[in-house]
Structure 1
Amino acid sequence: MNETLSALDPSLRAMLLEELTSGNIDRANQLSVKPGQEKFVLPVTYSLIVTPFSPMTSWQRVAVVDDQVVGFIHANLDPNAAVDEYRACIWRIYVDAAVQGQGVGSFMIHAFSEVAAGAGLDRITVMWEPGLDSPGEAFHRIGFTDIGRTEYGEIIGALASS
């Protein structure tokens, strides 16, 4: 068993990552969040519309356990991006409320980190809005460190690629 899977809650060890498709986007749209987190998330289909998107650089996956979507990640992988923070950047990540804190987010982030390392990138980044119930604490637990702020005041975090 690989190291990432061994850290998961035992009930989630059969988790798989699948590309986001028309066959699973409805299930991704049904992901729920904990009270207070609503202000930090958008429905998956809406976030796809408002997030910078290029089919050539977009990395979109759903985490699936027993045919149930338990998480979604939308990242950008573009080693040639003009802005360093956007080269391997997580734009959106959602973990269903029922499985938060059980390793789903970490699993998706580390999978993206491995892809970024394979593309020759030494780190991945994520941006989040600070505040009560923001995802910042979860990102810090996974290993992200704050490296700056966007022009809009969002925190930029970085994690070394694995």
Structure 2
Amino acid sequence: MPMSPHLQEITPDNFEAAINLRVRSDQEHLVAPVVKSLAEAYVHPGIAWPRLICEGDETVGFLMAFFHIDWTGEGTDFRSGLWRLNIADGKQGRGYGRFAVESVATEIRRRGGAHLTTTWHPGPDGPAGFYLALGFRPTGETSGDQTVGTLKLD
């Protein structure tokens, strides 16, 4: 019987599995390592929502979301979304990325949000195709060197 993916909070019991998660070597320049994300979560308590993506007892990915942050710093544009998504080397193409986005969307809806924001590196080696296929649309903005996209949640 096939198992379903699920999210796990980061705990002392799964910390090593989290920081040892690696994306494909040709993708390392596209996303921060999990250990950096966990450090950011530590210094942004209450904003960052880090979770492992697991299939049974196996760690297959990592996501970090954010909720209701002041996007521009001007107090007028509050957003929620997917901050990081790392799918383990050898585990892509199995629905874990889609599961991660759907899980964050569910949490945003639960908190009263209607849009999911994320960023991605543009270019042929970036994940634009993945996000566009899920319904994200570029906003025309950039965040550093990344494209900003949003998904309307129904």
Is 1:19 the counterpart of 2:22? The answer is no
User: Contact 2:41–2:47 (CA<8 Å) still a contact in 1?
Assistant: no
Deviations 1:89-116 (A, max 9, x none): 2111111121211110111111110111
Query: In structure 2, what is the Cα distance between the partners aligned to 1:88 and 1:52?
Result: 18
Query: In structure 1, what is the Cα distance between the partners aligned to 2:92 and 2:143?
Result: 30
Q: Per the alignment, in what secondary structure is the counterpart of residue 78 of structure 1?
A: strand
Compare the two structures and name the one with the higher strand fraction. Answer: 2
C-alpha displacement of 1:118: 1.5
User: Contact 1:88–1:124 (CA<8 Å) still a contact in 2?
Assistant: yes
Match of 2:103 in 1: 111
C-alpha displacement of 1:119: 1.4
Match of 2:51 in 1: 61
Query: In structure 2, what is the Cα distance between the partners aligned to 1:100 and 1:134?
Result: 14
Deviations 1:54-88 (A, max 9, x none): 3222211111112111011111112666363x621
1:14 alignment partner AA: S
User: Contact 2:80–2:108 (CA<8 Å) still a contact in 1?
Assistant: yes
Match of 2:67 in 1: 77
Trace 1:6-45 onto structure 2 (pairs within 5 A). 11=2, 13-45=3-35
C-alpha displacement of 1:53: 4.9
1:39 alignment partner AA: H
C-alpha displacement of 1:127: 0.8
Is 1:161 the counterpart of 2:153? The answer is yes
C-alpha displacement of 1:151: 5.1
Query: In structure 1, what is the Cα distance between the partners aligned to 2:42 and 2:121?
Result: 17
Q: What is the TM-score normalised by the length of structure 1? A: 0.80
Match of 1:144 in 2: 136
User: Structure 2: where are the runs of 5+ without partners?
Assistant: none
Structure 1 residues 147 and 30, CA gap change in structure 2 (3 angstroms): same
Query: In structure 1, what is the Cα distance between the partners aligned to 2:13 and 2:63?
Result: 16
Q: CA RMSD in A?
A: 2.4
Moved more, 114-123 or 19-28: 19-28
Q: Which 4+ residue blocks in structure 1 deviate beyond 4 angstroms?
A: 50-53
Aligned residues between the structures:
151
User: Structure 1: where are the runs of 5+ without partners?
Assistant: 1-9
